[in-house]
């Protein structure tokens, strides 16, 4: 997949309004290799946009196309394949499995994709400051630690686009830089686009573009 086109899209919950936006009700394209920040205040549809792009919500008007194909026609099998090989995602609520350890949370993704070795995953978790928490159940980690585990898990797959929904909201500056460095390195190695939703704390990578989900008049 080389590009995502967001064409005249508006979430159903905003139906009847005409928000001033770089994304809603306009034409917007994200291509492989670029780093895009989508900034907005709370409640303006960042997670909603991620849900549309990741295929688990479709309550919108307009069309979203992956390489020209309308994603509303994709079935569950197609989405599963995309999530294993082309699209990666760090959701705002992280969706870690509390009973599994930090390593197992990454392994459950990696065994699907066979993208990293266990050694590499351990190294990544250590590099991001979790060397003492690798075998801890995720349910016993702090929110910041959980955020870092979710980021490592998202990097355990081949991808064309990496979606991150407020990935740095609970990271201190050192962790933020470590996470950003790791994300940029992996994305650049794969030539993938990085799309970061930001409200408040920004992930500290170099952005090639900045989009406003909602402009103040």
Partner 1 sequence: MSATMTTNNEKRETRNENLLWRLLRSGMSKTQLVAFTLACLLGVTIMMVAVQFYHDVKPVFGGGDDSLGGSDYLVINRRVTSAGALLGDHTGFTPQEVDDLLAQPWCRGAGAFEAGNFSITARIGLGTGGRALRTGLFFEAVDERYLDVDPTQWGFDSIRPVIPIIIPRDYLSLYNFGYASSVGLPRVSYGQASLLPISFELAGNGYNDVIEGRIVGFSGRLNTVVVPQDFMRWARARYGDGSTPQPTRLVVELNGAPDARVERYMEDNNLEVAGDKMNGSRAQSLMALVVTVVVAVGLIISILALTLLLLSILLLLQRNSRQVRDVMLLGYTPAMVARQYGRIVVISAVVALVLAAAATLLVRFLYSPVLADVGLSTGWSVWPFVIGAAALAILVAIDFIVIRRHVTRLLA
Tell me which of 46, 109, 122, 146 binds partner 1, using CB under 8 A.
109
Could you tell me which stretch among 107-115, 126-134, 140-148, 191-199 binds partner 1 (CB under 8 A)?
107-115
Least distance from partner 1 to the Cβ atom of residue 3, Å: 21
83 binds partner 1 (CB under 8 A): yes
57 binds partner 1 (CB under 8 A): no
Least distance from partner 1 to the Cβ atom of residue 137, Å: 12
Tell me which of 68, 77, 189, 216 binds partner 1, using CB under 8 A.
77
Could you tell me which stretch among 29-37, 59-67, 77-85, 207-215 binds partner 1 (CB under 8 A)?
77-85
59 binds partner 1 (CB under 8 A): no
Locus of tokens 């907005």: 40
Q: Which is nearer to partner 1, 57 or 65 (CB)?
A: 57
Q: Which is nearer to partner 1, 24 or 54 (CB)?
A: 54
3-class SS string, the chain: CCEEEEEEEEEHHHCCCCCCCCCCCCEEEEECCCEEEEECCCCCCHHHHHHHHHCCCCCEEEEEEECCEEHHHCCHHHHHHHHHHCEEEECCCCCCCCCCEHHHHHHHHHHHHCCCCHHHHHHHHHHCCCCCCCCCEHHHCCHHHHHHHHHHHHCCCCCCEEEEECCCCCCCHHHHHHHHHHHHHHHHHHCCEEEEEECCCCCCCCCCEEEECCCCC
95 binds partner 1 (CB under 8 A): yes
Question: CA–CA separation, 162 vs 85, rounded Å?
Answer: 11
Q: How many CA atoms lie within 13 A of 38 on its CB side?
A: 28
Least distance from partner 1 to the Cβ atom of residue 112, Å: 5
100 binds partner 1 (CB under 8 A): yes
Could you tell me which stretch among 39-47, 59-67, 109-117, 169-177 binds partner 1 (CB under 8 A)?
109-117
Residues that bind partner 1 (CB under 8 A): 54, 56, 76-77, 80-81, 83-84, 89, 91, 95, 97, 99-100, 104, 107-109, 111-114, 157
């Amino acid at each position: 997949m080389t590009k995502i086109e967001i064409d005249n899209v508006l979430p159903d919950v905003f139906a009847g309004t005409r928000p001033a936006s770089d994304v809603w009700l306009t034409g917007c394209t994200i291509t492989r290799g670029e780093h895009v920040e989508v900034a907005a205040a709370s409640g303006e549809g960042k997670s909603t946009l991620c849900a549309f792009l990741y295929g688990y919500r479709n309550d919108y008007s307009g069309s979203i196309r992956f390489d020209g194909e309308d994603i509303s026609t994709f079935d569950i099998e197609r989405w599963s394949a995309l999530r294993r090989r082309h699209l990666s995602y760090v959701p705002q609520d992280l969706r870690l499995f509390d009973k599994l350890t930090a390593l197992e949370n990454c392994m459950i993704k990696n065994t699907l994709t066979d993208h990293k070795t266990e050694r590499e995953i351990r190294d990544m978790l250590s590099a991001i400051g979790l060397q003492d928490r690798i075998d801890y159940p995720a349910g016993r980690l702090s929110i910041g630690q959980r955020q870092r585990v979710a980021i490592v898990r998202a990097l355990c797959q081949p991808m064309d686009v990496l979606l991150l929904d407020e990935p740095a909201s609970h990271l201190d500056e050192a962790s933020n830089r470590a996470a950003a460095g790791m994300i940029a390195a992996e994305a650049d190695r794969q030539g993938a686009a990085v799309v970061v939703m930001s409200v408040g704390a920004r992930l500290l990578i170099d952005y090639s573009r900045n989009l406003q989900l909602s402009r103040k008049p």
